[in-house]
Amino acid sequence: MKAYLILFIALITSPMAMAEKTLQECIDTQNDIARLACYDSIFGHSKSDGATPLATPSSQDDFGAERIRSEDKADSMTTSIVGEFDYLAKGDKIQLSNGQTWQVIESRKLRHKAKNPEVVISKGFMGSYFLEFADINRRIKVRRVK
């Protein structure tokens, strides 16, 4: 009976000692992806378990960089409105000479009688845009629809 007990204890503790050794190797690994692969090999996980694949470091480098301003992106553009109008009100669509269509989203009206006036559309705070006429000092909030 003693022999079976010793054999049983030896069989149970032997894999634990091996796992402890490889677990320490995983802990000592400096590379995050290699460390995770080491843990996966110990605990029997594989890529086919339905888990999503890890992002590569190159894709992680660009994460969140959409909002960082770069030198090639403009903060404003100058163009002109196609046609004649008297005022702009909420919901009005504005056709620009460059082919873009913008819509007024501000509730106040902007009175300005003009024909093919030059306008500046500039970026505002938190992704907003403003349309400003070149000849008057007033602007109105707009969003691009096309």
Tell me the pLDDT tens digit for each residue of 26-85. Answer: 888 888 888 888 888 877 776 655 555 555 555 556 666 555 555 556 788 999 889 887
- 82 and 137 both lie in a single domain: yes
Q: Which domain holds residue 82?
A: 76-144
pLDDT attached to residue 138:
86
Domain count, the chain: 2
Q: Which amino acid is at 96?
A: L
Residues 82 and 59 in one domain: no
Last residue of a domain, one of 63, 92, 107: 63
pLDDT at residue 9 greater than cutoff 80: no
Residue 68 lies in a domain: no
Q: What digits encode the pLDDT tens for the residues 82-128? A: 988 788 889 999 999 988 999 999 888 888 888 888 999 999 888 88
Q: Residue 53: left if φ>0, alpha if ψ -120 to 50, beta else—which one?
A: beta
Distance CA 25, CA 38 (A): 8
